[in-house]
Amino acid sequence: MSKAPATGKLKRSAISGMALAHAGVKHLGHKARQLTRDDQSKQTAQERHEGELGRILFQALNQLKGTALKVSQLLSMEADFLPEGLRRELAKGYHQVTPLNRALVHKVFMGEFSRAPEQLYASFEPVSFAAASLGQVHRATLADGTALAVKVQYPGIASSIGSDIRMLRGIVQTFGPGSDLMPRQELVDRVMREIEHKLNEELDYEHEAAQLRWFRQHVKLPGIIIPRSIDSHSSRRILTMQRLEGIHLEQWLATGPDQQQRDHYGQLLYDWLWYSVRVLGRLHADPHPGNFLFMPDGQLGVLDFGCTKTISLPFCQSLAQAWTALLPQDGGEPDYASVREAYIQLGVIESGLSLSDFMTQLLPAIAPVLDWQLQPFRAARFDFSLKSPYPAPDLTQSKTVMRIAAGFHEDLPYFDRAYLGLMHMLKKIGATVTTGNPWQQK
């Protein structure tokens, strides 16, 4: 029988403790063996070790589920934060579901409304049709026939956030103090605090309902549909919203869409990101393909507004300065002095890093990622079937970045996550999209 995630403090602590101990032993053995290896063997062994630590962590997360799996999803998308081996294993969290049985669904409704779901809705399907790390979604209808999607949060899940964050921080630290593979400790702590804050927001369905209302009111981009929240049937742990008719990316691709359809939806996805950043100043920050619906009338439904982020004007100005300097319109050389200044404003580097050191040390280390980011914008239109894969991490480059990088602007991880998700979706669709430098578009 299906059951809720483990929420008992003792049980979760035992799982976390075993994972930490196992990871610690593995890491000590790895460090000892590295002393006798040559450079090539060290890199191969390091990559294997990262994967081992990732598997240990994921096995623990798979038992804990809930917020732990959600954190693993978020960390797996922080391309510049964790080593590749760990991120690859953590990404498996996207494929996990934990369906609740009927009794637990009933318990959540009684706790929120003192009524069973069958008493609140004209119809309610007790078996969920979609699931994620923090809850699951059921079909229902109102008395007037309105089709609904009802998101039900796993009971007791909010109480596990703190312990899950501590466990993840502990395993991240198994790489050892002063490791040149990991960010500085203050950066690790900052990322973890931000993830904890966003998780608390995402577990508050009243907050998500408010985000739905805001986006529905402000989005004027043709072709984008935001579901309506049904506030009379929503609470902190239950969110009732309009059910949109459509299919997710994999199902849509299985229908064999022609190139015109691929280009149409690809342009909608592309325009949606830049409209959100440059016009709305607020980002839908969970770019998982399951949060988009390809609707039969050519419109794109956007789902799951539990994780959003207000994007500040100074951030946009600094990133626009960096990208514009790297994409000179006259075909000349990039303006690296402007790029350095923008990176200082974004908090990526300290002001004391000279232009010479910036160009000779940091730029070569981040050049593969910059080239990957900017590839679609070097022409007015870009065929995403030709998009290069995200650059494989280089151990030497990673050490350089970790040594020089000072931190990041608070908006940067959310933008990077949304941008990375967009690139992956457009490549999978194989769309040809009008791009150019989006920061210069009117």
- Domain check: are 295 and 399 in the same one? yes
pLDDT of residue 442: 43
- Domain check: are 227 and 305 in the same one? no
- Cβ neighbors of 1 (< 8 A, separation 6 or more) are 101
Are the C-beta atoms of 128 and 117 separated by less than 8 Å?
no
- How far apart CA 63 and CA 6 sit, in angstroms, is 7
Q: Is residue 190 part of a domain?
A: no
Q: Is residue 163 part of a domain?
A: yes
Q: Say which CATH number the domain at 144 has.
A: 3.30.200.20
Q: Is residue 286 part of a domain?
A: yes
Pairing of strands 300-302, 224-225: parallel
- Domain check: are 235 and 252 in the same one? no
Q: Is residue 34 part of a domain?
A: yes
Taking the model in full, what pTM does it have? 0.79
Domain count, the chain: 3
Q: Is residue 192 part of a domain?
A: no
- Residue span of the structural domain in which 282 resides: 246-442
- Domain check: are 372 and 424 in the same one? yes
Q: What count of residues does the chain have?
A: 442
Q: Is residue 3 part of a domain?
A: no
- Domain check: are 69 and 209 in the same one? no
What does the block give as tokens for 243?
A: 């059910």
CB atoms within 10 A of CB 138: 22
- Domain check: are 178 and 267 in the same one? no
- Domain check: are 181 and 211 in the same one? no
pLDDT tens for the 442 residues of the chain, in order: 444 444 455 454 554 555 555 544 454 444 444 444 455 566 666 666 666 666 666 566 555 555 655 665 656 555 455 566 555 655 555 544 456 678 889 999 999 999 999 999 999 999 888 876 678 899 999 999 999 999 998 887 777 777 777 766 766 665 544 445 555 666 667 777 777 887 888 889 999 999 999 999 999 999 999 999 999 999 999 999 999 999 999 899 999 999 999 999 999 999 999 999 999 999 998 778 888 999 999 999 999 898 899 999 999 999 999 999 999 877 788 999 999 999 999 999 999 999 999 999 999 999 999 999 999 999 899 999 999 988 876 777 777 887 888 888 889 988 988 998 899 999 999 999 999 888 875 4
- Domain check: are 277 and 360 in the same one? yes
Q: Is residue 4 part of a domain?
A: no
243, 258, 273 — which closes off a domain?
A: 243
- Domain check: are 271 and 386 in the same one? yes
Using DSSP, how many helices (H) and how many strands (E) does the chain show? 17, 12
- Domain check: are 253 and 141 in the same one? no
- Domain check: are 303 and 236 in the same one? no
- Domain check: are 335 and 390 in the same one? yes
Exposed, middle or buried, 363 (CB in 10 Å: 0-12/13-18/19+)? middle
Q: Is residue 314 part of a domain?
A: yes
